[in-house]
Structure 1
């Protein structure tokens, strides 16, 4: 029971609830500050010691990424509205990437999810399980018949990895000066879009 002491006088019933409450506290802190936060800040907000948080999340980066995944549902709803009715996979993905890159400065959790600069994160973070989950959640919101265009589950995961890497490059280095949305849309449609539709010809 030692791991559940504190918690503002209301300890969680089990480990699953404890992890959810830690993530929720991190989400609230990020929303208020719009910036990176520490394990110590999350622990203090819950009335527990840092070691308690570390029992569930081995690093600040793992906690931040879990928090990002838990808090991007509103973004995904807005993305769905943006790509609604677009059935062409290249067009849908182009619009999704343009929208996502525009939203990063306005959505701290999204920036943390896609950033490699937080804490001890490495470039491999963008292909982490959390980032892949985010990417798959994105493309499953599209009105695209992926199977019709030759995509199975394995190739969809590869597509997500490719698109995450593409977004990461623009997130880290948007260019000088950065492209406008229309310029970025034309660029992505020409180069990324051609790769997406090259998977195969639509099924007859």
Structure 2
């Protein structure tokens, strides 16, 4: 009977549906609060006990990351549109970083995915398989011909790690006062952009 009272009176049909509904509830809560949420918060919103949520997600951090990945598709679509037509790797990546740093202020899910500022993940998560997958998905949507620019799979993965580390530094310490978009764009183009272009001149 308790199960009927939970889940809004409509229990999930299987574990897959239960997991999906838990993540959806977490996404909704994060979107409404703009902050980190707990297992207890999600359980309360679903009308179930915490142990029910723990069955599918062993920690709040695991649930937060699942919610983050469920929320980034729309961001990636808008980022792709923003950098559409940019074939220069330094220009495209600079614009991607500026766009991401701007959007993370509006979309807490994105910050949860990329920055320990929004969750209790260790900094090692920056180079986790999940973060690398997100980064590779992001840059492969660009109109840049990475192969012609001297990038193979190994160097692309290294570039993703480098850019994630760069964004992490701005998440943790945006500056006082933070740079304007134009100042940030100029800074990234000068330093990060130079490093990205250097790969073009490397022996193939």
TM-score by length of 1: 0.90
Determine if contact 2:94/2:188 at 8 Å carries over to the other structure.
yes
Gaps of 5+ in 2: none
- The 2-side partners of 1:128 and 1:138 are apart by 15
What's the CA shift for 1:5? 9.2
Give the corresponding residue for 1:113: 113
Gaps of 5+ in 1: none
What's the CA shift for 1:115? 2.0
What's the CA shift for 1:98? 0.6
List, as ranges, runs of 4+ consecutive aligned residues in structure 1 with deviation greater than 3 Å: 3-6, 200-204
Determine if contact 1:60/1:119 at 8 Å carries over to the other structure.
no
Give the corresponding residue for 2:188: 188
Following superposition of structure 1 onto structure 2, how do residues 83-162 of structure 1 map, counting pairs within 5 Å?
A: 83-162=83-162
What's the CA shift for 1:51? 1.6
- The 2-side partners of 1:86 and 1:46 are apart by 44
- The 2-side partners of 1:73 and 1:169 are apart by 24
- The 2-side partners of 1:29 and 1:128 are apart by 25
User: What is the aligned-residue RMSD (CA, Å)?
Assistant: 2.3
SS for the counterpart of 1:96 is: helix
- The 2-side partners of 1:127 and 1:183 are apart by 27
Count of aligned pairs = 203
What's the CA shift for 1:75? 1.6
Give the corresponding residue for 2:82: 82
What's the CA shift for 1:199? 2.1
- The 2-side partners of 1:119 and 1:111 are apart by 9
Give the corresponding residue for 1:48: 48
What's the CA shift for 1:141? 1.7
1:61 equivalent to 2:50? Answer no
Distance 1:4 1:76, change over 3 A: farther
SS for the counterpart of 2:200 is: coil
Question: Which is worse superposed, 151-160 or 17-26?
Answer: 151-160
